[in-house]
Every structure is written in structure tokens, then in C-alpha cells.
Amino acid sequence: MTDDERPTTADRAWLADWRRRVAELYADVRAIAADDPPTAWETWRRERESLYRTHPQSPVPAAERDAFRALHWPYDDRMRWTVAVEAAPAASAGPSAAFGGLAIAPIELPNSGAESPAFDRVGVVRLPLPDGAAALPLFWMRGYAGGLFLPFLDATNGTETYGAGRYLLDTAKSADLGGDPASGTLVVDANFAFQPSCAFDPRWACPLAGPESRIPTRIEAGERLR
């Protein structure tokens, strides 16, 4: 929910339903992508648009939902990778132990709302982009449900995409493309990059990407606003 609204019982029931349906969607995506990533992406694109148009917990304002259409760049198979999670330099153990690393002191990322949830910087992933490799910090959300968080900024922000960046992974909300803890790898696919909820309506509070998550080039993959 938002910073300034107290949810009703019905709100909570619909929010639980939203999370359930998103979790089911990503489970389907992971299964389909094992053999056919473009079809998995098309399933994600279609079902996500339906949720945003019809679900009571959609971040799209109610008056705009009937006309809402999701916009995306075409699927680009060069933008899907299985990447190693490199340990973040640190002095204390934390959730990144699953990747063989250590966590640093909790940090606060930029946030569109009043609250600033605490994160651990648990590692680094290096994306072999067509225009050159880019390193992004990988975070773990301490509060809420916990989870891996991989936001990013790029040169499309403020024009085709939300000015404060997009998300690649947000596993606390089931946006999870898979990985192998035993080998310390994650699946990252920029075709599944999506806008935070506050991109559609500023009443939603969202953690955002910080300066260290900036990719200097254009990432013409994933969801766009225009």
C-alpha cells in the first residue's frame, strides 16, 4: 500500500491475491523459460498487462485502467544471462552467505515515499551487455519479506522509462527469474525489466536505484512508458 493510506480488510485480501497471482506468474515464467525464453516473456507481458488493467491492487490509477496498454521493446535474446554473484566487500556475515559472500552495514536506498527501508549490499553482478559489461550492486531487503533487489538506472530514464529507474529483480514481490545458490548464480533478463509502482501513480512508495546502479548506455529492453 501507500505511505498515507490505511488498508481495509478488503484491501489486504486483494493485496494477498495480487501477490499470489504475481508469484504464480513468475513460477510459470521460470518453467517456460527453461526451454523458450521469448515465449516466457510474452506470457509475462500479456498476464502482467491483464493484472494492471483489471486487478484492484493495480498501481495504475483506477480511472486509467481500461485504457492501459503495456509497452515494451521487442524481445532481445542478447539481454538474458546467467551471471555469477560476486561477493560484496564487507566485514559481517549476512544473507549473501548463500552466494559465498559477506554483507556490509545496512544502507538506505532512495525512496519515493517517506519511509526508507534498510538494505544490505550483498554482492555485485556483471552484465555482459552488447555495448560493454556493466556492474550492478545486488541488494537484500532487510524488512518486509526480505528478498533480493536489483534496480538500475540507464540512459532511457526520463524519456522512454521512469526517471528514477527500473527493476530487474525484486524477489520480495516474487519478481524472480531463478538462480542456483549452490553455484552462486542468478538469471537476469533485461527483457523483464519493469517500472516501480510509483512510475504509474506517485501515491505508491517505492525503493529506487542509487547512483551506483547506473548503466551509462541505453537499455532498450523490457518495459517502457512511451
> 10-20 pLDDT, tens per residue?
999 999 999 99
Is residue 40, in this structure, part of any structural domain at all? no
Inside any domain, residue 62: no
How far is Cα 88 from Cα 154, in angstroms, rounded to an integer?
A: 22
CA 107/CA 98 separation, integer angstroms:
20
Question: In the chain, how many domains are there?
Answer: 1
> What whole-number distance in Å separates Cα of residue 224 and Cα of residue 226?
6
With 0-12 / 13-18 / 19 or more C-beta atoms within 10 angstroms meaning exposed / middle / buried, residue 48 is: buried
Residue with cell 525489466: 193
With respect to residue 9, please indicate whether it lies within any of the assigned structural domains: no
What confidence category does residue 104 fall into, taking pLDDT thresholds of 50, 70 and 90? low
Q: Which residues contact 69 (CB under 8 A, 6 or more apart)?
A: 49
Percent of residues, the chain, with pLDDT higher than 90 = 79
Q: Domain containing 87: what range? A: 72-224
Within-domain flag for 60: no
**Looking at the domain assignment, is residue 85 inside a domain?**
yes
Mean pLDDT, all residues of the chain: 90
pLDDT (0 to 100) of residue 114: 62
Whether residue 29 lies inside any domain: the answer is no
pLDDT confidence of residue 99:
52
Global pTM value: 0.89
Going by pLDDT thresholds of 50, 70 and 90, the confidence category of residue 107 is: confident
Residues of the chain with pLDDT > 70, as a percent, come to 88
At residue 64, the pLDDT reads: 97
**Which cell numbers in the block locate residue 177?**
527469474
Q: Does any domain span residue 175?
A: yes
